[in-house]
Structure 1
């Protein structure tokens, strides 16, 4: 296919993929050619008659695979953001092939011999710090991928990796299909009593988009406790909504979860680890299973106690409605009632102050300018991968073009749930690349001509995901391996969580929190009440999160050979054993739709969110108490941490900013656990 747009470097700004030219049929040939070309490049490195040097081995390895990188980044984003049956079939076909391709590189004995020789003599190579780290990280990656195993064990490893890749693709497709199928359809607006008028209109627009004109459709979000539970007055509808959420993909994905955890445990044993969890954390900042156990286990009792105190408040409110007990589908509803009566805060009443365009431009972009000095210009002449995907050019403090940011904010049937950041072009000085990054969210799309009004949690998500985007945009490294968010999994959420602080910064909040009709600012007394209410609900949120994190940990600390026969029974027992069997608070994700850990790269790593929050809470205190102007502090955070990517050990980056090791006190105070 001579017209395949992937076969040449894009000529668009910062090599933005030419989405206007890309068609579904271009992907498979580009993948096939990309894998073939990279294997030829690897063979050339191995066959080089010259002794291994840093340039002819490591730099050559970093330069390899340009075509495969282009097509894979574009495909991965589109398959998640705007999938089709063709793309899903390709995902199923390509996932095991790509796993095999990675194994072909990591298990190439000639290539590893060259890297190993350089590694053993690294002290005499005279490498600068980033180059030495590149050598060390590649050597570690090859060893962890099985380069030192026997031929027999390597063969089994290849089989396991291919099977896991196929299972991961099946898992995510099952979640997407059943999430679509379990959308709640109602026939009248009256049934949605309690939802705001714009939320009802969005449900009608969702029905229209799904071919159900005249109906109102509540599509499920990727997490357990659906946001509408806080507002719906119809208790039976709340129960129906939560049941639909909690039951997703159980029949299809329960057996897959059992199989995948067993395969991961077997692979870990082959590589010399007692469990998949031990294998994962050995290369993270946590370092050991014991460190993660101590962190998560130490939070359980105070979190549950906090949640019990909250439950007593909610039950008192529920009794006023004639209820004698609180069910899981009641918690969010009565939490909202208590929030209104105790703190005089109405969640739906806040939404008119958080209109998407204003939050984006006068909140998220404004904060980035305030802290880092960057600016943004929408490029309507550049085409995204979907009509909803908008392109912005990012300009640095000197006026030079820093990179591109794509924002794809609205939910649709072709998009997986949740919110995330992807790279379309990773930054690299070696390859002469500037960053192109994308944020995906799932904000309900309003009717044509109507504004998109956000919940407070959606405002937080917008700031959070943009923190990931800044990590990619500010990347200033030489080698692709270290670009942007290529950092340990239990560190990657740290910069994004830090970026959430700016949503409540007085000068930022005042700039974006304005009524979308009148332009009036959010009343000062309401801001004060929001601050007072910040700790309310932390018990629920912490228990919900810890239940998911410890569920992940239970699946992935199983030893090889341990047999699980029923996924739901395993889940229930794991939560009971962890002290988190709280009927009114389901885990944020149940096993069958826990895509983070079974198809999203977070296996044995969901603990990362609260592990990173230790660093985040500590850094927020540093920003507020170091005596420097915000702009100066922002420059330090950018230079010493965001720009470094994976080119320096993660905790060294933290220490370079804060000046010491992290402390847990600020996190405990934030979560009401101190």
Structure 2
């Protein structure tokens, strides 16, 4: 007889039934009821969720029945529904509108969540039940699920001795605490580093809408004048527009020195050193030479040798191209030596001279709602037949967050898409996608996916006008959303974007191509006041300028990717001793790779490299370029084999093939097998080299 501990798990009396997390949401598609959720609900719901799932795991471990799919694999998949509900909403709010109280709860929960993870993956009793299923007759997806669980248990340390497991638990708990601390300090550094301007003249070069938005930033924070809030990457968007060189230097310096001790409360150096040291110790405890080797083994790259080979192939031509671009920019500013804070504005100047194009020309044609509705959504409709209906009856978690119902071409409901596009105090930098509800046939659930961007909110009554980079970001994040919306898996842990981190960026990068598709571009790039489209000349120029600046773009990205590997391809004793040594370690790593370029600093310096020290992309930031090899090869397929009547692949036949072979599959098998099914071969790097202008 099978023991089913999950049947009544949500009904345990430990949590007040009035708590909105006590039962699944009754809203369409189980969208969290944000209107009912308050901060005081999180602690009791999380504690109850942890206790409930532990009880579920104990029931699996002690079940006297012989292991089978239902009482072991499916029981694991069914466990933790209460915890999933509360943690999904909690971490969404921490990222999107974090405040001191939420961050305090986050700091409390972090070590508990690490301990909770270990309670499962170090449980030898459950692992024995998984091993007992090795010879069972399973369907393909269930066999892959078993293989995935078994591998994850082994990599988590289930085969270590008791003493080693005890040390591992301590390391995991401490690391989770430190990663949370690092992320919180990065947000604090962005706030502390905001550049306050009182003299309107310093904002020369910025259009009236941008100036009004900066005034609104200051007013929102109770300050006079204007406030330039920092974005997560080193480069800041306004560096391409501000003609006051002194302001550019202030802004660039504020960005580059975050976390280095200029503000004691947001100094991240000691934190990142301890993170790197403990990750290195943990890797050796688990039998790996360093943390990067551990990470690569669990990804499609498989080895750090493969990662290093790719990065070393790209770094020299990227540095060469960046230096050539620097020479060109220096010639455009003969009155002063070229400095890093001059690069963006001079690049815009040269680009405008060469292509008669800059952001001031484009922005009036790139209004947010039109970009989303007539660009992002339109491309998805042309490719996949899906439609989007704004659900004004469904509330987001703060003002400006909108919810759309997504339907198939035949009207069948597919899921919900939630868009949160504006920057706000307490929101972490960058852009991201996450699921609020995972698709799963096991639970009969459809997906609810969320996109976050960080666009400066305009002054009341003004349109939200985007830069071209922000347009590309919107298409990119929606590529992740499609990966989640089209998920077609039985098991939630294999659904949608639950794939290796060096594969997850691939579908999102492919989706960027549609911003450049002439039909899509003509559809969304229209003047916000007149509705007039971009002129044919400007459209052609925009599409023809796509390779301009790739030396800089590739070099700054590779700088960050190589830093990430440098911190994680060493043992505990090979790391800097103290905070004052961080900068020298960073410089040495870049020098060794041939990318110590004063004019082109890494996209993220170590002190605000949240991808790697905040967790999630640790030793995995190479994933973007690794995925771009697949992306560039796939774009070539769309524009050749997938194209019909010179449409560049913007047709239902090509879209359905991409959806069927790749977007819908999640992690239900080896992800690279999906690519091979699409292309009929392994990926080749030549399309990427051509795209980035890295061919000799």
Q: TM-score if structure 2 supplies the norm length? A: 0.95
Long gaps (5+) in structure 2 = 1-15, 262-266, 645-650
Q: CA-to-partner distance for each residue in 1:424-452, whole Å, 9 max, x for gaps?
A: 10100001111001000000000111100
Secondary structure of 1:609's counterpart equals helix
1:655 is aligned to 2:655: no
1:600 Cα deviation (Å)?
Answer: 3.5
Name the CA distance, whole Å, in 2 between partners of 1:317 and 1:285.
Answer: 44
1:102 to 117, 120, 124: 117
| Deviation per residue, 1:472-517 (Å, 9 max, x gap) | 0000000011111000100000000000000011111111000111
Counterpart CA distance in 2 for 1:628 and 1:295 is 30
CA offset at residue 256 of structure 1?
1.1
Cα distance between partner residues in 2 of 1:50 and 1:416: 47
CA contact (8 A) 2:642 2:654 kept: no
Of 420, 429, 454, which aligns to 1:417?
429
Counterpart-to-counterpart distance in 2, 1:522 and 1:154: 62
1:189 deviation in Å?
Answer: 2.4
What does residue 133 of structure 2 align with? Answer: 118
Alignment of 1:83-162 (within 5 A): 83-119=98-134, 121=135, 125-162=136-173
Picking from 333, 339, 347, the partner of 1:335 is 347
Cross-structure match for 2:686: 665
Are the counterparts in 2 of residues 274 and 560 from structure 1 also a CA contact under 8 Å? no
The separation in 1 between residues aligned to 2:687 and 2:453, in whole angstroms, is: 29
* Separation of aligned partners in 2, 1:537 and 1:627: 29
Aligned to 1:450: 462
Displacement of 1:188 after TM fit?
A: 2.9
Cα offset, 1:562, TM superposition = 2.4
Q: Which residue of 1 aligns with 2:496?
A: 484
Q: Using the alignment, how far apart are the partners of 1:530 and 1:402 within structure 2? A: 34
Kindly indicate whether residue 293 of structure 2 is the aligned counterpart of residue 278 of structure 1. yes
Where in structure 2 are the equivalents of 1:136-535 lying within 5 Å? 136-213=147-224, 215-251=225-261, 252-319=267-334, 322-323=335-336, 325-535=337-547
Give the Cα separation in 1 of the matches to 2:610 and 2:687: 30
Would the aligned equivalents of 1:392 and 1:406 in 2 still touch at CA under 8 Å?
A: yes
Partner Cα distance (2:72, 2:656) in 1: 35
**What are the Cα deviations for residues 17-50 of structure 1, in whole angstroms up to 9, with x where unaligned?**
0100000010011110001000101111111111
Give the aligned CA root-mean-square deviation in angstroms: 0.9
Mapped to 1, the partners of 2:428 and 2:231 lie a distance apart of 9
Q: Conserved in 2, the CA contact under 8 Å of 1:269 and 1:560?
A: no
SS at match of 1:604: coil
Which shifted more, 415-424 or 108-117? 108-117
In the aligned structure 1, how far is the partner of 2:167 from the partner of 2:563?
28
Equivalent-residue separation in structure 1 for 2:162 and 2:173 (angstroms):
17
1:563 CA displacement: 3.5
Number of aligned residue pairs: give it.
666
Asked whether the 8 Å contact 2:483–2:664 carries over to 1, the reply is yes
Question: Would you say 1:71 and 2:82 are equivalent positions?
Answer: no
In 1, Cα distance between equivalents of 2:642 and 2:551: 33
Q: CA deviation at 1:351?
A: 0.1
Match of 2:11 in 1: none
- Counterpart-to-counterpart distance in 2, 1:396 and 1:527: 31
Deviations 1:650-670, CA, capped at 9 Å, x for gaps: 100111111211011100000
Aligned counterparts of 1:178 and 1:288: Cα–Cα separation in 2: 34
Instruction: Give yes or no for the alignment of 1:621 onto 2:632.
Output: no
SS in 1 for 2:615: coil
Listed as ranges, the gaps of 5+ residues in structure 1 are none
The answer to whether the Cα contact below 8 Å between 1:268 and 1:275 also exists between their aligned partners in 2 is yes
Aligned partner of 1:636 in structure 2 is: 657
Write the distance in 1 (CA, Å) between the matches of 2:132 and 2:569.
34
Residue deviations 1:213-265 (CA, integer Å, cap 9, x gap): 4x111100000011111111111111110110011122321111111111111
